[in-house]
Amino acid sequence: MKQGFRQIRAFLQAAESGSFTQAASALHVSQPALTVQIRQLEEELGVRLFDRDRRRVTLTPEGRNMLAPLQRILDEFQSAVAQAHDLAGLRRGRLTVAALPSIAAAWLPDLIRDFRAVHPGIEIRVADVPAARLQTLVRDEEADLGLGPWITRDRALRFEALLEDRMHVFFPAGHALTVSRQPTLKGLARYPHIVTSPGTSVREALHRALEDGGLDIEVACEVAYLSTAIGMVRAGLGIAILPLSTLSAASCQGLEHRPVANAHLRRRLGLITAKRKTPSPAARAFIAALQAARISRPCGT
C-alpha cells in the first residue's frame, strides 16, 4: 500500500487530457514519470485503467468506474487541506476567552473589536466568570485562555502578568475625600460602603484587606454589578472600593476616585494558559494582540 495523491492526480489529468504526454506537461513532470505513476495506480487497483493506443490513450470501462471516486477523494483532500489552512490563517476558527467580569467589560471590548476587524472569520466567545472559575475553565479546555488574577498555584497552567489592577475608592464629586491624594483603608472605613457580592474577587480582596488591618466597615449596600455600585455611589449612598478598570466598564461621570494605599487592594492580573496544550492559531494571535495592547495601554487604562 504505497499510494499517494500524485498517482491519482496523474490518472485524472491523463483521463482528461487523453494523452500521457499532455498530462505530464500539465503536471510538470516528465512523460515517463507519468507513465510510471499510472502503472503504479493500475498495479495497486489491479485493473488496467487506460487502453494505450499510440495515438491517444482512452479510459477502459474499469478506468471510467474509478474516475468519479478518485476525483472525489482528491477534492475532499484538497478541501480538508483548505479547511486546515483556514484555521491556520485565522480565516476561520473559534476562540473562547475566559475573563473576570471587570476585565471583560473594560479591556476586552476594544481588544475584540480590533481583533475581529483583522480576523472577521474568528468566532469569539467570552466567558465572564468569577476569578475562582477562571483557572478551572482554562484547565478543562473550555476556554483557550484566561484573563484574571493568579489565585491557585496550578502546575498545569502558566501565568503571565499583564497589568496591575489597583483598586481605587470611588466617591461623588465634592465628597470630603476629594482632598486626600491617597487615602488609607483605615481612613475610608468610617464611610458607608457599597460592596460587591461575596464570592467576587473584588469583595474577597476587600475582605482580606480589612481583615489584615483589623478594620470593619459599614455596608450600605451590596450589589452584584460594578455598574450598579457606581450608580449607588453617584446617588450618594456611600463610597466604593473598586478596580480602577471600572472606569472603562461603567459611566463614572460626576465621580472622583483615588488609589487606596493597601497592598491587598492591588491585583496582578494576567494571562492564564494551559502549559501542555498548544494554543490554537486563533489563541496565539489573540495573545499576541493582548501583549501588544499591554504595551500601548499599560496598567489599567
Partner DNA sequence: CGATCTTACGGGATTCGTAAACATA
Partner DNA sequence: TATGTTTACGAATCCCGTAAGATCG
Please identify which residue in 30, 79, 180, 197 interacts with a second copy, judged by CB under 8 A: 79
Q: Which stretch binds DNA (CB under 7 A): 27-35, 73-81, 87-95, 234-242?
A: 27-35
Cα-Cα-Cα-Cα dihedral sign, residues 117, 133, 165, 275: negative
Is residue 178 within the footprint of a second copy (CB under 8 A)?
A: no
Please identify which residue in 30, 32, 83, 140 interacts with a second copy, judged by CB under 8 A: 83
How many Å is the maximal CA-CA distance in the chain?
103
What angle, 0 to 180 degrees and rounded to 10, lies between the N-to-C axes of helices 5-17 and 61-88? 120
Is residue 53 within the footprint of a second copy (CB under 8 A)?
A: yes
- State how far the Cα of 180 lies from the Cα of 125, in Å rounded to an integer: 41
Q: Which residues contact 41 (CB under 8 A, 6 or more apart)?
A: 3, 7, 8, 10, 11, 49
Nearer to DNA, 54 or 190 (CB): 54
CB 20 to DNA: min, Å: 4
124 binds, among DNA, a second copy, none (CB under 5 to 8 A by kind): none
Q: Which of 56, 2, 72, 6 minimizes the C-alpha distance to 33?
A: 6
Is residue 20 within the footprint of DNA (CB under 7 A)?
A: yes
Q: Which stretch binds DNA (CB under 7 A): 25-33, 77-85, 212-220, 227-235?
A: 25-33
Q: Which of 226, 110, 237 minimizes the C-alpha distance to 168?
A: 226
Is residue 5 within the footprint of a second copy (CB under 8 A)?
A: yes
Is residue 136 within the footprint of DNA (CB under 7 A)?
A: no
Rg for the chain, CA atoms, rounded: 32
Residues of the shown chain interacting with a second copy in the complex, contacts defined by CB under 8 A: 1-6, 44-48, 51, 53, 60-62, 65-66, 69-70, 72-73, 76-77, 79-81, 83-85, 87-89, 94, 276-278, 280-281
